[in-house]
Every structure is written in structure tokens, then in C-alpha cells.
Structure 1
Amino acid sequence: MFHLYWADEGGVPAGDRGLAYGDGLFETMSVTGDRPPLLAYHLDRLSRDAGRLAIPAARSELEKVCSQALARYSGHYGARPWVLKLTLTRGSGGRGYRPEPGIQPNLVISHSTAPAPADTDGVVVDFSRVPLTVNPLFAGIKSLNRLEQVMAARELRGEIYEVLMSNRDGHVVEGTRTNLFVRSGDAWITPPSATLAVAGVMRRYVLDRLHTAGEEVREAPLSLVDLVGERCQGLWLTNSVLGVVSVRNLAGHDLPVDQRLATIVGSPAILD
């Protein structure tokens, strides 16, 4: 169904469309031992969004490859957390933007050590100077087109853990690698899915957990006052590898920090 490449054995062909045009998508998932807690969520998104891009990738085949990868790499890490990455491209072939009919997708499997956990006392965050543009046709897809995030991530210096990106309407949408949740009044607020460059699997899991817990949740645009105004009871970053991270300072403004969202969601090590 697709050409499979193990990154530690060699790269994809030079004519790969993901390399040439960003014509593909990817997933990065946290693994403890041989268990990726959010595997089902990752496979759901990868197969669904591949369909949106008209890249053939059956969920069952992706699941088989994940099983192979877990068996292949889990022994390198023992009980330590690590990261499994799947990069799916449309394949190789076709001069210019138009792909050749019937080309087979390429799937590249790689792995790496997990990043250090964030400070439980909260992290320092700033605003990015790089604007975020989201094409409605591709909203939420974790595609290989991440140049805006790359440029924004260059602003991460010193103790700055993350920078938040805003769209042309001035609404704060997401971080370079994280989605956002704000506690305001009696509700949790997160930017609407249609405005997101990446709709993270951890975001989806957090929403599921909040709904299960009977919490009020709203998808609504976030302005500056929502984040640093007196109604803000906390700001959290979410990412499937980083988990749920509290923000203690945003662009010089101290924010309240507590573990209520992490408590509702649970530890990434035991997510099902």
C-alpha cells in the first residue's frame, strides 16, 4: 500500500513529494516502554487527514506498521519515555506540483528520546511576531507545511518555553507546537477547530475528558484580554508529547497556576 522506510536505515528518495513540496503529513506520539497511550487518536487523525489530502493510507495498515515500530525500537529505551514519528507523503514522482496518477505513498518511521518534562510550577511564554495563516481547506491538518511554526520557533530563547501565534483577526490561536486552554469564569475555552493550523490529539483527548467530567467547555476566539485579563484563571498548553503544561507568565504578566486541568486529564503515562 505504501513504501516503508526506516529512518535509521536511510532516507526517502530525492524525488519524494514531501521533501519537494511539503506534500504529506506526520504524527509524533509519546511512548512509554512499548505503549503509546494515545495511539488510537493518532491513527484516527493520520488516516482521516490523509483522506482529506487524497493520500491513500488505511488505518489498519498504519496500525500494523506502528506495531512493527514499537517492537523494533522499544528495547532501546526500556521504561524511559520516547517519541515515535510517522511521516506520510504522497510518494515520489511527477515533475512540478501535479502528482503522477497512481503513485504510492511513502511512510517514514523514526524515533527519538522524549524531551524533558516541563516545570510543574509553570512555564514562561511570550507572543510571536510571526502571524499564523490557516487555509480553511487544510485547517487542523498536521501537514509537512510548517514554515510559519519554524520561523516562530526561532524566537524561543532563554527561559521562553513557547510562543503564541495570532491570526489576521488578532485572535490568539495556538503555540508553535501546542494548543491552548483557558479557564475563564466557570468554563474552559479553547480556540475553534476551524481556526487551527493543527488540531492536536491531546487537545481532542482533553476535550473528551472535560466533557466526561461534566465541565463546561466553549470553543471561542481568544483575545489578549482573555489571556491576561482579570477573568483569566489559568492558561494551559497541550501537546501529545509534552502533556498538559501550565503557564505561569505570559509576556511579563503573571498568571495563576494550578493543576486542575492536569488532574482532570490524568497523567500522560496512563492515558487510554
Structure 2
Amino acid sequence: MVNILVSGSGEHGPATVPGDDRGLAYGDGLFETILVRHGRPELVQAHCQRLLGGACRLGIPLVQADLDLALQQGQTLIERTRKTDRQVLKLLLTRGSGGRGYRPPEAAEPRLLISLHAAPPEPPGEGVAASISDVPLTVNPLLAGLKTLNRLEQVLASRAMPEGCYEALMRGDRGDLREGTRTSLLYRWRGEWCTPPRDQVAVNSVMLAHVAQGLAVSGQIVREGFLQPEQCHQDDFGGLLLLNSVIGAVPVHTLAGRQLPLPDHLATIVSLARKR
């Protein structure tokens, strides 16, 4: 049985999570951040599929009925507290309490915490500046793609990000640009849309999948390939975008202080990201 906790205003004050919760102790859990526009959560099915798939891989008992109930309560929270056109609904799943020690209990009682937050400002339409982080990205094959609660690498990279930069890009084990601290990468190389290999990133992006599906409708395929920093300044490079489900898609106009191309076709991706 999943214990659903709602944190918000009105009758829902701050949710209380005990100190022996495994999410607090070990990062033993997952989370989703869902954009809410005009009171409607977007890309909900994709977020639910990612959360259910991640829970299955971690061995945390969670079924669609649990998420349906949580989303119902989340919708009530949205209707009671909506003050802006854009909000973020966060679902945070932990394995529940487990005492001291890494080995989880055989009969887990997961917790699913629901909270609502103001959405960050939308990125500027003219694009953003990004840095290249000195913090390397490590991807354990067993955890690849999971949006786990353990995000310390991203915390360190964000903390060290220079002022004026919108995002820090993290390098993979090949020295390649693998993903941002909070975004996935989509780039244009030799006339094709490309992204780093999806089985070798920390988080499988809901927004990237959404955009790739939209491109497929017009017969365009998103191919996988490692992006080396020096590629971004070669003639065959046609631009870089950052994607996630809250910001949508935004072009990068400057990387590590050097200008990147901003061709018109980048607007296609920005447009697809808005159609949800």
C-alpha cells in the first residue's frame, strides 16, 4: 500500500516525513516534475510511465491506481491554490521507512509526496548561455535513465555554474557533452537531429521523447550520437537546444563563452515542445 501525502496550503500543511524514510536516508526513490498550465497538468501519461518504470526497476511497489489517486489529490491542490498560469506539480516517491542499513525491508510501504510550486520563469526566446561543468557525469548502467532522488552530481555542477549562465552541461565518460544538470540535449549535426545515447544518460527525458515523436510525424528521425565540445564550433554543427518538461525547449546561443549558431530550424523544436 502506498501512503500518499499532500503538501500545500489550506487544509494541507507541510507534509511530515519521518527521519527513517529511505528517501531521506539514502535517496531511495524517484521524482517527477509536471508542468501545469492554466490548471491542467501536461504530459501526465509520459510522466506516469517513467515513474512506474523506475519504481519497477528499483523494486518499489507502485501501480497506476496509486498514481491516479495521487493525481486526483494533486488536481484538487491545483484548483485550491492556483495563482498563476504556470505551476509545477511534483511527485516524490520513496521506498518508505526502513530503519538503519542499506538493505530495504522485504515488505516496503512506499510514500508518495505531492506538492505544488510556482513554475520558474520561461527561458528567453532569443536563447541562453550555457557553461561546461568540471563536475563529471557518472551513469551507472543499472540506474541509467531513472530520475532518482540522488542528484548530488547535479547539485555540485549547479552550485559551480557561473553567474549569467542558464545551464551547466556535464561531460560523460568520453569527454562528451552528455546532458545538462536539469535538461537533455538535442543538437543538429550534418543536417540531422541528434541526441546523446538515451541508454547512457542520467535521465530519460519526457520532453525529448515528446519532441522526437513530433518530428517523426514529419518523417524526421532523432539519431543518437556522442557530442564532443569541439563539434559545436564546426561547420557541420547546426545548433543546440536544452529540453525538459517544465521549460520546454530553448536554444543555446553561447557555450563556454563562445557563440553557437542559431539557425531558423531551431524554432521548429521550440514550437513542438509547446504543443502538448
Range class of TM-score, shorter chain:
over 0.9
Query: Residue 66 of structure 2 corresponds to which residue in structure 1?
Result: 61
How far apart in 1 are the matches of 2:125 and 2:211? 18
Please give the secondary structure, in 2, of the residue aligned with 1:5. strand
Query: Residue 111 of structure 1 corresponds to which residue in structure 2?
Result: 116
The RMSD of aligned alpha carbons is 1.6
Residue type of the alignment partner of 1:137: L
How far apart in 2 are the matches of 1:17 and 1:199? 23
Query: Residue 212 of structure 1 corresponds to which residue in structure 2?
Result: 217
> Contact 2:133–2:161 at 8 Å: present in 1 too?
no
What is the number of equivalent residue pairs in this alignment? 271
> Contact 1:171–1:221 at 8 Å: present in 2 too?
yes
Please give the secondary structure, in 2, of the residue aligned with 1:46. helix
Query: Residue 247 of structure 1 corresponds to which residue in structure 2?
Result: 252
How far apart in 2 are the matches of 1:114 and 1:258? 28
- 1:175–1:38 CA distance, 2 compared to 1 (3 A): same
Please give the secondary structure, in 2, of the residue aligned with 1:225. helix
> Contact 2:253–2:261 at 8 Å: present in 1 too?
yes
Query: Residue 134 of structure 1 corresponds to which residue in structure 2?
Result: 139
Structure 2 stretches of 5 or more lacking a match? none
Q: Give CA-to-partner distance per residue, 1:2-26, whole Å, 9 cap, x none.
A: 1111223322111100000000000
Q: Give CA-to-partner distance per residue, 1:69-127, whole Å, 9 cap, x none.
A: 11222342256110000000011023200111112101111111011011111100010
How far apart in 1 are the matches of 2:264 and 2:83? 29
> Contact 1:133–1:168 at 8 Å: present in 2 too?
yes
TM superposition shift of 1:63: 2.2
TM-score normalized by structure 2?
A: 0.93
Please give the secondary structure, in 2, of the residue aligned with 1:266. helix
Query: Residue 241 of structure 2 corresponds to which residue in structure 1?
Result: 236
Residue type of the alignment partner of 1:260: H
Matches within 5 A, 1:88-127: 88-127=93-132
Q: Give CA-to-partner distance per residue, 1:127-165, whole Å, 9 cap, x none.
A: 000001000011000000100000000123321000100
> Contact 2:134–2:170 at 8 Å: present in 1 too?
yes
Residue type of the alignment partner of 1:224: P
The more displaced of 95-104 and 171-180 is: 95-104
Q: Give CA-to-partner distance per residue, 1:236-256, whole Å, 9 cap, x none.
A: 000100110110011121112
1:4 maps onto 2:9 in alignment: no
Identical aligned residues as a percent: 45
Structure 1 stretches of 5 or more lacking a match? none
Q: Give CA-to-partner distance per residue, 1:220-269, whole Å, 9 cap, x none.
A: 11111222222111100001001101100111211122453443563655
How far apart in 1 are the matches of 2:205 and 2:2? 25
1:33 maps onto 2:38 in alignment: yes
